[in-house]
């Protein structure tokens, strides 16, 4: 009996050690590295959602690991790649957070290549958030590192992006032309060269140098990308219209529409909010699975420790008490209570998971009902119906619309009905807003994209970006406010 008891104790200890090794930091680090490599391969295959899922799972596994040089390097690579995926799908705030954390990790390990890439990616995201001053700082830092490293390819890329994404939106056209020209002289090729020609064409158009603009725009038409050619035809249409060549302008308008339809087919994707919800759900699911694994491991360790303690108690009792049956009964009774407790814990955990699933489904059902009710109320208005049609598909028919002041007045009244007097509250906060400013705010409140609003205003998308900036800075007096125009409108 004594030999059997000793063997049982040794077996229990071995089981506890094996269970602890199943979730060791070294194994989690190895799994994280494997997921990172798979995520990079998926990103190269343009499977961005699957890549993002791999990066998220790898970050979950890295939590709690020692901050060694190797771990910090892997953490920086994961967060920089995940930030790029978030940026691609419009999750700009989350993307900027990931890139900044990647910068902190790369600084600790002294990885200048990683720092250079992370700063450039941060500049891209800051530009999308219209934080142009912050974007300039990120780009300048990346350019300084690239210059120290004598990385000509990165210097060319940064000059192109700074000209296109910073100096062009803020209206510094001479500086933008200088940056893009230096990038082209550095030896751009392929798609980057087409983008540079398209950007220079737009810049020379804004400076009224139509001849030089047309030379670069025609060179950019060598591109096979429908989205790029769409921007080229849009600028060529504006040049032809300003020159009085209406027939040529109509030809460019038709080509613009064809490219827009082709681009919609090539780049069709799911709704950005659905993607964000999907990523958050997957992250929550991964976190829950990790917590369940940890709880299961702790539970097994507690059971092992309890069994060992009980066996020791039994051995002590056997030496002091002659009633062996009573000791055995006590042991069995304790084990049964432990098993019942385990079953109760498992049952409670399953009930909690089912309750969370029910609550999530209820929230989704309520959200869908609210959207349907809003669509029924607003769908009666011509402005809303026109914008909704443009958001679904831009064609020659959908762009052939005419909106009267009565249509706009009805649109604003329905917006007030749905959003509890939105326009009155807006004017109370910002009395400098004009009639068209209020219309733009109502369109943004109803969730229409920048492209749809710019078409309704009969202006180019870049011009609409500048108009939003003027409204925010001059009409709302919020030049120092770090929120975007849409966030300010939705907060009213």
pLDDT of the residue at 351: 66
Q: With b meaning 16 or more CB within 10 Å and e meaning fewer, what string describes 441-470?
A: bbbbbbebebebbbbbeeebebebeebbbe
Output the CA–CA distances (angstroms, integers) from residue 179 to 124, 173, 250, 403, in the order listed.
16, 10, 33, 41
- Residues in the chain where the model's pLDDT stays below 70: 1-23, 266-296, 299, 321, 327-328, 331, 335, 342, 345-346, 348-349, 351-353, 355-375
State the pLDDT at residue 301.
77
- Predicted local distance difference test score (pLDDT) of residue 270: 43
Closest-CA residue to 127 (of 117, 138, 140): 138
**408 contact partners, CB below 8 Å, separation of at least 6:** 383, 439
DSSP codes joined into one string, 286-297: HHHHHHHHHHHH
DSSP 446: T
The continuous run of DSSP H or E covering 475 comes out as none
pLDDT of residue 435: 93
3-state secondary structure of 192: helix
Q: pTM for the whole thing? A: 0.50
Q: What SS3 class is residue 92?
A: helix
**415-428 pLDDT tens trace:** 999 999 999 999 99
pLDDT of residue 148: 93
Residues 150-164: tens digit of each pLDDT: 998 899 899 988 888
Q: Which residues, other chains included, contact 184 with Cβ-Cβ below 8 Å and sequence gap of 6+?
A: 193, 196, 197, 200
Residue pair 198/178 in contact by the 8 Å Cβ criterion: no
CB distance 440 to 408 below 8 Å: no
d(CA 425, CA 415): 12
- Structure-token pair, residue 35: 């997921």
Sign of the dihedral defined by the CA atoms of residues 149, 150, 151, 155, in that order: positive
Q: What pLDDT, on the 0 to 100 scale, is given for residue 352?
A: 56
- State residue 333's pLDDT score: 79
**What pLDDT, on the 0 to 100 scale, is given for residue 228?**
85
């Amino acid at each position: 009996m004594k030999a059997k008891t000793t063997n049982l104790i040794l077996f229990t200890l071995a089981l506890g050690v094996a269970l602890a090794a199943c979730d060791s930091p070294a194994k989690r680090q190895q799994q994280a590295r494997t997921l990172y490599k798979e995520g990079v391969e998926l990103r190269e295959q343009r499977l961005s959602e699957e890549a993002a899922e791999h990066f998220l799972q790898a970050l979950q596994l890295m939590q709690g690991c020692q901050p060694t040089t190797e771990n910090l390097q892997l953490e920086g690579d994961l967060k920089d790649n995940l930030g790029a995926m978030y940026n691609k799908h419009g999750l700009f705030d989350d993307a900027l957070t990931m890139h900044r954390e990647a910068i902190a990790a790369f600084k600790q390990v002294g990885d200048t290549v990683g720092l250079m890439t992370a700063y450039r990616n941060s500049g891209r995201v800051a530009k999308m958030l219209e934080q142009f001053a912050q974007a300039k700082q990120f780009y300048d830092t990346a350019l300084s590192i690239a210059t120290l490293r004598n990385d000509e390819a990165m210097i060319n890329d940064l000059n192109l992006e700074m000209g296109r994404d910073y100096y062009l939106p803020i209206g510094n056209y001479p500086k933008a032309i200088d940056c893009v020209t230096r990038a082209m002289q550095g030896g751009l090729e392929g798609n980057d060269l087409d983008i540079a020609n398209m950007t220079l064409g737009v810049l020379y158009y804004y400076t009224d140098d139509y001849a030089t603009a047309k030379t670069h725009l025609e060179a950019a038409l060598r591109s096979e990308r429908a989205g790029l050619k769409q921007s080229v035809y849009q600028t060529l249409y504006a040049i032809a219209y300003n020159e009085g060549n209406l027939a040529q302008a109509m030809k460019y308008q038709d080509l613009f529409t064809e490219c827009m339809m082709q681009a919609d087919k090539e780049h069709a994707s799911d709704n950005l909010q659905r993607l964000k919800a999907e990523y958050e759900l997957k992250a929550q699911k991964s976190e829950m699975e990790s917590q369940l694994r940890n709880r299961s491991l702790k539970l097994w360790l507690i059971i092992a420790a309890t069994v060992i303690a009980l066996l020791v108690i039994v051995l002590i009792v056997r030496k002091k008490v002659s009633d062996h049956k009573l000791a055995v009964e006590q042991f069995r009774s304790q084990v049964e209570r432990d098993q019942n407790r385990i079953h109760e814990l498992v049952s409670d955990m399953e009930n909690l998971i089912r309750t969370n699933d029910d609550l999530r489904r209820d929230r989704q059902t309520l959200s869908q009902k609210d959207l349907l009710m809003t669509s029924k109320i607003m769908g009666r208005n011509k402005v809303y119906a026109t914008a909704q049609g443009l958001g679904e598909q831009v064609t020659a028919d959908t762009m052939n619309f005419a909106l009267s002041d009565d249509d706009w007045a009805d649109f604003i009244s329905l917006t007030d009905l749905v959003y509890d007097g939105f326009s009155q509250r807006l004017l109370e906060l910002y009395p400098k807003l004009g009639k068209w400013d209020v219309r733009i705010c109502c369109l943004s409140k109803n969730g229409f994209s920048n492209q749809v609003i710019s078409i309704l205003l009969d202006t180019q998308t870049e011009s609409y970006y500048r108009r939003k900036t003027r409204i925010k800075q001059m009409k709302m007096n919020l030049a120092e406010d770090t929120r975007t125009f849409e966030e300010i409108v939705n907060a009213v």
